[in-house]
Amino acid sequence: MSTTVLAGEYMAYLATAEACDSNTALIVSGDLRCLQPIFQIYGQCRAFSGPVVTLKVFEDNVLVRELLETRGEGRVLVIDGGGSLRCALVGGNLGQSAQNMGWAGIVINGCIRDADEINGCDIGVRAMGTHPQKSNKKGFGEKHIPVHIAGTLIRDGEWLYADSDGILVSKTELTV
């Protein structure tokens, strides 16, 4: 268990390497999974965790905005953007909204933009990269469904743990 400063408070977080070492039975059973290392690190919080909210969209961020403008309550939004590198699904305004609404983090199988603004936000963000072009605004997509990103199936309500070493998803909240 390590300690980090988050939003002016000290909070304990689970180091992903330590979680892997302490939970080999969960890894073998598939109840604890490691995402492939395809994500870049953005935002002030290099380590974050929380219950997962899933979203599946493609080059359209209307539903992303809808969710990030609701109370996050320490949850992590996992967005399956289809791995598109043709536009951004989250920009500086949504990063600020996520911070203000209490989201712990965002993991995007796609791109962000306004990286400098997002890097100033007190949340954790993982994305495949940056792209200056904004997304479509049609409102297509699905919320709260299983998504498959970075070699891993992720379900709404599971727990996500991210730090500088990587990202883990667990069926239940972990303790060390």
Distances in whole angstroms, Cα of residue 112 to Cα of each of 47, 105, 108, 133:
18, 13, 8, 9
Pick out the residues of the known binding site for substrate.
Answer: 91-94, 113
Pick out the residues of the known binding site.
Answer: 91-94, 113-114
Locate the DSSP E strands across the chain.
Answer: 2-6, 9-13, 32-34, 40-42, 48-56, 76-80, 88-90, 105-112, 124-130, 142-143, 147-149, 152-154, 159-163, 166-170
Pick out the residues of the known binding site for Mg(2+).
Answer: 114
Q: How far, in Å, CA of 90 to CA of 67, rounded?
A: 12
